[in-house]
Structure 1
Amino acid sequence: MNCIMTLLLKRHFGSLETCTGSAAPGPVPKDHIRLYSMRFCPFAQRTRLVLNAKGMKHDIININLRNKPDWFLEKNPLGLVPTLETQSGQVIYESPITCDYLDEVYPQKKLLPSDPFERAQQKMLLEHFSKVTPYFYKIPVSRAKGEDVSALEAELKEKLSQLNETLVKKKTKFFGGDSITMIDYMMWPWFERMEIMELKHCLDSTPQLKKWTEHMLEDPTVKATMFSTEIYKVFYKSYMEGNPNYDYGL
């Protein structure tokens, strides 16, 4: 499928990936904010979760990350998703920054705590979690190469046990309390992918964290933004083979 046809189909269905040579999209619709995304990217899913949870009007343009449009690189020279664009042409990127921006600018349903110390705690926990996410890539890649991943899995289990201990000490269903807050959405996308990455057994010794995942799966916003294991399986197989099928499942 050529790039122009891809863009036309995307505009109709709001989903297909734009690629090099595609025409730049039109203006951001009135009273909307635009998200440049990739359907299977966990970092972009963070922003989709926040947009959905806050009930904000938005449109989504998905980017082919292996073949990025020139117009997208003009908006964000780093070529990263998620990237937000406002009606006035302001551009914001990096997933924690986009999510914080949305929470500040659209206060209909606050996801960050109002207390400065509680906000700081969430940001510290997010910093800790940033040391966890690399394992979701290192382990599957090493396993695919036939390497022994037992040491890496042991390291991941230790980090997950620290998250489990956080929940034990808080005695709450979620990391921000008894209702979902920003930190839960910021962490969720990687847990959603545990089964397809064959890492679900790493939760066996973290009962509170396992319960947290069960509570998260009951959330309407999580349900609205997640994919089935089967769809993930096909996408990640194509990704590991070097030819990611970004449009699979449409």
Structure 2
Amino acid sequence: MTGSQRSLAKGSAAPGPVPEGVIRLYSMRFCPFAQRARLVLAAKGIKHEIVNINLKNKPDWFFEKSPLGLVPSIETSDGKIIYESPIVCDYLDEVFPKNKLTPADPYEKAQQKILLEKFSVVTAALYKVMHAKKENTDATEVKAQFFEKYQKLEEALTKRNSPYFGGESVSMIDYMIWPWFERFTLFDALEFLEKTPLVNAWYERMLQDPAVKETFTEPEVLVGFAKLYFEDKHRCGVITALTKVTDRRAI
């Protein structure tokens, strides 16, 4: 993996052509959706480079790389552009068949996609918890709403009777879900892990996964970033400073 810690903002020059045999990922260091793509790239050992984007001050040229102005987006050496995190991850898994993450069985593949759809409800509830925390309002009700949806994950692991959401080993669904668990500190949600022993065991296993270790950001760094972000002090230099605190890898 190659790349720069600097986040490119409005007025910056567009990067040059993507080198042959390399996938370029347009990312943002603290974005959970972009982390999905980084997890897949790491898990599959795909040669790639990362270009970080300042999402609060996007370069004009970035909309050519991601029409919606969102990360992740990937670019190939022959100029193909793919965006939206599930689509990006599916593309990478299909084009690079080594270390396949998506089940070959159509039914199992469908079950993972169904669970991912259900998880989108969990993430929506999580953001309500974070908003209540940010506004310093009583979060009792929104936390209860979150837990009602979150415990469906415990039920999913109970029904499957396996250590991972996709079976006996890490698969695509685990990487699609993981980034939000890494951010539980932001959402005041770590307390819920103790109430769901199977999810908690999964969480501990995922912490030992090589791709998770490679893309992991320490909780205190995420908390520091979120504080600056929501105070609207989020700037390219802030991202760089926070990244340097925790990350010894080039990004």
TM-score greater than 0.5 by the shorter chain? yes
AA of the residue aligned to 2:243: G
2:89 alignment partner in structure 1: 99
Counterpart-to-counterpart distance in 2, 1:125 and 1:102: 20
Counterpart-to-counterpart distance in 2, 1:14 and 1:83: 16
Counterparts of 1:1-250 in structure 2, within 5 Å, are 14-244=4-234, 245-247=238-240, 248-250=242-244
Counterpart-to-counterpart distance in 2, 1:222 and 1:48: 9
Distance apart, 1:13 and its partner CA = 5.9
AA of the residue aligned to 1:90: K
Secondary structure of the 1:16 match is strand
Whether the 8 Å contact between 2:28 and 2:52 is mirrored in structure 1 is yes
| Count of residue pairs the alignment pairs up | 239
CA 1:91/1:13 → structure 2, altered by over 3 Å: closer, same or farther? closer
Secondary structure of the 1:249 match is helix
Gaps of 5+ in 1: 1-11
Counterpart-to-counterpart distance in 1, 2:151 and 2:188: 18
Give me the identity figure in percent.
53
Secondary structure of the 2:25 match is strand
For normalisation by structure 1, the TM-score amounts to 0.93
Q: Structure 1 residues 130-139 or 164-173, which shifts more?
A: 130-139
CA 1:13/1:176 → structure 2, altered by over 3 Å: closer, same or farther? closer
Deviations 1:189-234 (Å, cap 9, x if unpaired)? 0001112332101222211011110110010110110111121121
**RMSD of aligned C-alpha atoms?**
1.2
Gaps of 5+ in 2: 245-251
Deviations 1:24-75 (Å, cap 9, x if unpaired)? 1011112101000000000000000000000000000000000101111122
Distance apart, 1:147 and its partner CA = 1.7
Secondary structure of the 1:134 match is helix
Distance apart, 1:122 and its partner CA = 0.2
Secondary structure of the 2:64 match is helix
